[in-house]
Amino acid sequence: MKVDEGARSIGRGPSLLFSMRPPSLEVFSTKINLPQASAGVARQYSGTLGKVGNCQIGVSTHAGSDIASCPLAWRLFLPAPWDGPDAAACPEACRIPEDEHHQPKWRLALDMLDELAGIGLRPAALVADAGYGANVNFRHGLEDRGLGYVLQVSAYSLTT
């Protein structure tokens, strides 16, 4: 059985297959050079762009099956510079709540999974790209939650 066939069969029936979209999915992918007054904009690597650019990045969780996909949760990624002294006015100008700060993308993803589990949505398996698969904290977080997963990893990665 091919990996694609196996992943598709996991999502059949009443089971849900959750997918973490690429960690560099632009929420506003058509607005590349956004002004600094836009929430979360920073020079950062974007998988969609394939390079570093001024952009916003979102992390999302989707439920999927053989015939459909539906976004369940989204989080705006706030880059680390948005917590620094040079950007003190940016969160206020963008109306970002004071208690929102930079968190790694894998942490945003686990928080979304916890929120979804709180309303009874737990995946039969979670599928994510190498941006998540290479992160040991994310993998351990999935294991701690008892979630099955299929994660892409680089051929050169060591996993534990």
Give, for all 160 residues of the chain, the pLDDT tens digit.
Answer: 333 343 344 334 444 555 554 433 222 333 344 455 678 888 888 777 788 888 888 888 888 877 878 888 888 888 888 777 666 667 677 777 878 889 999 999 999 999 999 998 888 888 888 888 889 999 999 999 999 998 888 787 666 5
Q: What is the pTM of this model?
A: 0.74
DSSP β-ladder status, 17-20 and 57-64: antiparallel
* 69 and 8 Cβ atoms separated by less than 8 Å: no
User: What Rg, from alpha-carbon coordinates, does the chain have?
Assistant: 17
Per-residue confidence (pLDDT) for residue 106, from 0 to 100: 93
* Token pair of 158 as six digits: 């060591």
Question: Which H or E run includes 143?
Answer: helix 136-144
